[in-house]
Structure 1
């Protein structure tokens, strides 16, 4: 309720009091009460002016916010349309159709094969690449737990120092050579980006999809295929050069984390297992009958073991073999890295692939490698935990 309304109610009350005084022949008292009435009337006028000013300011702010929101929505719609038109332009270009000047301005050739050696190649818009990465994570990608290194070339290397050989800071004063370079045990991790493609059959139907439907179709097709491929590559890198450690139960897992892993990696430790392995841990109780897993306060759908998050993957991706479920734990982001061409995803075609049906096959291509940076058991353990045999 406005303050002026409350003041008007008080005004009526004062008027009634003045009338009662006058009816009782208390003229002087009635005059004094009328002075209060006049003072309150003046105050009400000022209060109403203030309220009108405030209403005008609020109305102006609301209008400005509405215009900003409409502008933001319009910008978002325009960006969606631009991205969809970019895809349509690429589809037309690679199928040999003539592009308008505006359509030509939308597309950007890849740096890897700008002349179209393996079919015309173009870079997907950044917004669509971002949507693909988000969708990949929704499909439970190992990207969530492994490291990442963007590359500017298809091949190369980067230096790392294993936890088993890591050394401290060295004395290095001006005019001295410091330690002998042999004392610093760096190793070069080489990468060679591979082209991994998802195929889409091009058609007039695809070109005629609405803007959002076209973008979502491209994003979904690529993401579903990419996460399968990336997880297979990531799992192979995690298992490379490792001796599998047998974990009898949750107590053995706890002991291994305490004794095997270097305390320096614990800050980034995560536990990766499949549905069977998670079921074993989820059913385990301590000596007081309490569950050993606790919900993550920041993410109630995630469970913690000793405060370390558990990432659960499907039995299909991480299969249980001979009654043992894989369980990988440690600082996996230091152990294994995704390497890609700065997140670049290219769009190319191959008419030969679809010659039987007289169609052109589009390829969405990412350039990726997954490399093991540190195979030390101080960094991470590749283990297997016993599960109940299937009925």
Structure 2
């Protein structure tokens, strides 16, 4: 590790300690600013560290193949050509330029990396919010006691007859596992010739496909079973919590919205000009909406996972673990084959490796009283 990297590492450790101290002192805004500096320092360290590794690996490869000697000879030729041109007062018939490969472009190195870099993305799974149960059979039922308004005992005089009361009633929640799958063809040349881990990259891609699938299934079930409700603003959000959800679910409820919803909530102020969206003291990265007697956690999902449709920002409010149940029969399984045939695609004949991913699951509404499927309409 070179001197610059060691100095950066020292700054990173010092900045981490600073962030922790600011949080302990309840200086939330200063802690968030310090954390941004920490993220930038870490990003700079990662870039420089990768460059150092690549330079070392490239130099070692050139030594092993003898390419270093060849480059040195080319460099001597370039120096000789430059000297000859200088002797002629730089008046030469065939001008050299890096724009033309034949005129010099071949000797200008190109910065081409085969390392697979990644764009920064926000990814979250709605599966983390709901009630997930692993099952070993393709279909089944769960028994629940029905809700009923009880009226209490009736007053009975001495010697009077005692009347009958209603007994508990029950209902069942059914599930039926469905299969979701896809396949991914990769040429065997790519698998053999690439110096990068194509398989690991593909497996990571498949894992993200699984996350997108579960998000889609959960949102589809919510939109199908919970009637969308217009929320005109903050007062409607509070009514959804206080009245619609009530004391059974309000203490365990949260607001789930997207980036557009975050922007909306982040502009709400009280009559003194104080913002209503605030960080949780114990965890500055966790947000909560504080409005009068109402304090509720807020979960933000990217617009790509939870989109705004026709200027309707989703504001799903409630206890997700009580509202939605995710039955997981089989986690994502991946198989590969170089002899399989899928339709007109013949892996053996075309020298391919086919990767097949399968998962089996079902999403059902567990309690239709535990969630308010709301939205706020905004002007574009």
The interval holding the TM-score normalised by the smaller chain is: 0.5 to 0.7
The offset of 1:138, in angstroms, is 7.2
Q: SS of the counterpart of 1:248?
A: coil
Structure 1 pair 165–316 and aligned structure 2 pair: CA distance change class (3 A): farther
Displacement of 1:304 after TM fit? Answer: 0.8
Q: Which residue of 2 aligns with 1:352?
A: 342
1:140 to 114, 118, 124: 124
Instruction: Name the structure 1 match of 2:255.
Output: 271
**2:333–2:357 CA contact under 8 A, matched in 1:** yes
| Cα distance per residue 1:94-139 (max 9 Å; x no partner) | xxxxxxxxxxxxxxxxxxxxxxxxxxxxxxxxxxxxxxxxxxx972
Which of these residues, 178, 192, 205, is aligned with residue 194 of structure 1?
A: 178
Distance 1:355 1:146, change over 3 A: same
Distance 1:275 1:138, change over 3 A: closer
Counterpart of 2:209 in 1: which secondary structure? helix
Gaps of 5+ in 2: 1-120, 152-163
Structure 1 residues 206 and 196, CA gap change in structure 2 (3 angstroms): farther
Distance 2:189 2:367 in 1: 48
CA pair 279-158 structure 1, distance change in 2 beyond 3 A: same
- The answer (yes or no) to whether the contact 1:339–1:368 under 8 Å persists in 2 is yes
Cα pair 1:351 1:360 within 8 Å, conserved:
no
- How many Å separate the matches in 2 of 1:160 and 1:207? 52
1:261 is aligned to 2:245: yes
Unaligned runs of 5+ in 1: 1-136, 169-179
The normalised TM-score by structure 2 is 0.55
* Structure 2 residue 269 is the aligned partner of structure 1 residue 285: yes
Residue 335 (structure 1) aligned with residue 323 (structure 2): yes
CA deviation vs aligned residue, 1:4-26 (integer Å, no higher than 9, x gap): xxxxxxxxxxxxxxxxxxxxxxx
* TM-aligned CA deviation for residue 299 of structure 1: 3.1
Distance 1:248 1:383 in 2: 10
SS of alignment partner, residue 240 of structure 1: helix
| Distance in 1 between residues matched to 2:255 and 2:145, nearest whole Å | 23
Question: Which residue of 281, 291, 299 maps to 1:311?
Answer: 299
Is residue 338 of structure 2 the alignment partner of residue 320 of structure 1? no
Structure with greater helix share of residues: 1
Structure-1 residue corresponding to 2:220 = 236
Equivalent of 1:371 in 355, 364, 367 = 364
CA distance, structure 1, for counterparts of residue 149 and residue 177 of structure 2: 28
Q: Secondary structure at the match of 1:257?
A: helix
Q: How does 1:8-23 map to 2 (within 5 A)?
A: none
TM-score, length of structure 1 as denominator length: 0.54
Task: After superposition, give the CA deviation of every residue in 1:38-83 in whole Å (9 maximum; x if it has no partner).
Answer: xxxxxxxxxxxxxxxxxxxxxxxxxxxxxxxxxxxxxxxxxxxxxx
C-alpha contact 1:151 1:341 (8 A) present in aligned 2: yes
1:71 match? none
- Kindly state the Cα deviation for residue 167 of structure 1 after the two structures are TM-superposed: 7.7
Q: Structure 1 pair 161/262, CA: closer, same or farther in 2 (3 Å)? A: farther
Change (3 A) 1:344 1:165: farther
Q: Report the RMSD for the aligned CA atoms in angstroms.
A: 3.3
- Aligned to 1:283, the other structure's residue is in SS state coil
Q: Which residue is 1:247 aligned to? A: 231
Computing the radius of gyration from Cα coordinates, the structure with the larger value is 1
Q: Confirm or deny: 8 A CA contact 1:166 1:185 kept in the other structure.
A: no
Q: Given the superposition, is the C-alpha separation of residues 323 and 188 from structure 1 closer, same or farther in structure 2, using an over 3 Å criterion? A: same
Kindly report which structure 2 residues correspond to 1:96-245, keeping only aligned pairs within 5 A, or say none: 139-161=123-145, 164-165=147-148, 183-204=167-188, 213=197, 216-245=200-229
